[in-house]
Amino acid sequence: MSETNMRLLVVDDEPIVGKRLKQVFGKIGFEIETYTDSATALAAVAEKPFDIVVTDLKMEGIDGIEVLKRVRAMNPETRVIIITGYASADTAELAQEHGVFAFLAKPFRLDELKQVIYRAMETDRAK
């Protein structure tokens, strides 16, 4: 599987999340942009679509559900993955309604996220 040219965007208000994911996915060849502020992240999405968006749920200003909605509105092809330390059945359901690809509870093994992203790429290819 080649990850070349797969575009990945990460938004999480804790800088460590972006830093880590940049390191991990940059190493295996993803084109990755990271943001700590959701408004700026959405501006980047508006400029050029991403294949995959990984977003935190609870953020100041625009929260993860809103990021999901707007990203999907801009480009329905984009797979959105929500990562959160506060997973509840209600938010999970809400996210499902708005077409979230996967929901991951923090802290998680980086390998788990990798698998989810590979899966997202495969469903993409299958289409």
Partner 1 sequence: MPLRDFLKGFSAPRWLTPKTCRPLPLVFSQFREVLKANNSALEIIADMGEKLSGEYLFDLRYVESTVEEMITAMRRAIDAINILTEDQFVALNEVFTPMETRVRAILNKRDDRDGLSLLWLAEVETRHWPLVGGKAAHLSELLHNPKVRVPEGFVITASLFHELLDLNGIRPEFDRFEQLLSEHLPDEEALEALRLLLHEKVLHAVPPAGFLAALSDSLKKLGESCPSPLFLAVRSSAQEEDMDFSFAGQFHSVLQVPPQAETVYYAYLQVAASLFGAKAILYRRQVFPEGGTMSIAACCQRMIMAQASGIIYSVDPMEPGSQSMVVVGALGQGQAVVEGQVPTDFFRISKGEVVQVLERVIAAKHEALLPTGDADGGLEMHAIPEAQVEAPCLEDHILLELGGLALHLETFFKRPQDIEWTLDPQGILYILQSRPLLITESAQGAPRLSEKLEGYELIAADVGRVAQQGIGAGPVYWVETLADLKDFPEGAVLISHRDSSQFVQVMQRAAAIVTEVGTPASHMATLCREFRVPCLVGVPDIMSKVTPGEEITVDAEDRRIYRGRAVELLTYQATTTMDLNMAPEFRMLRRILREVSRLNLVDPLMQDFKPEGCKTFHDVLRFIHETAVLHLVDLGRDDHCFPGGLARRLDLPIQAGILAIDIGGGIAPDAPRDQIPFSAIRSIPFRAILQGMLFPGAWHQETMPVSFRDMMHSMMTTPQDTLSGQYTGHNIAIISETYVNLCFRFGYHFNIIDAFCHDVERDNHIYFRFLGGATDIAKRSRRATLIATILEAFDFSVKTRGDLVIARTGNLVQSEMERTLDILGRLIGFTRQLDVQMTDDQVVARYAEAFLMGDYGVVAEKR
Cβ proximity to partner 1, 72 vs 84, nearer residue: 84
Q: Give the nearer residue to partner 1 in terms of CB position, either 20 or 98.
A: 20
Query: Which C-beta is closer to partner 1: that of 96 or that of 115?
Result: 115
21 vs 100 by CB, closer to partner 1: 21
What is the maximal distance between C-alpha atoms in the chain?
Answer: 37
Are residues 102 and 81 in contact, defined by beta-carbon separation less than 8 angstroms?
yes
Phi, psi values for residue 89, rounded to 5°? -60, -40
The minimum distance between CB 85 and partner 1, in angstroms, equals 5
| Cβ contact 6:31 at 8 Å | yes
Considering only CA atoms, which of 127, 106, 120 is closest in space to residue 50? 120
Contact residues toward partner 1 (CB under 8 A) are 3-4, 12, 14-17, 19-21, 23-24, 26-29, 31, 36, 83, 85, 106-111, 113
Q: How far is the CB of 25 from partner 1 (least distance, A)?
A: 10
Q: Which two tokens stand for residue 55?
A: 């977003």
75 closest CA partner among 42, 102, 49: 49
Minimal distance, residue 126 CB to partner 1, in Å: 22
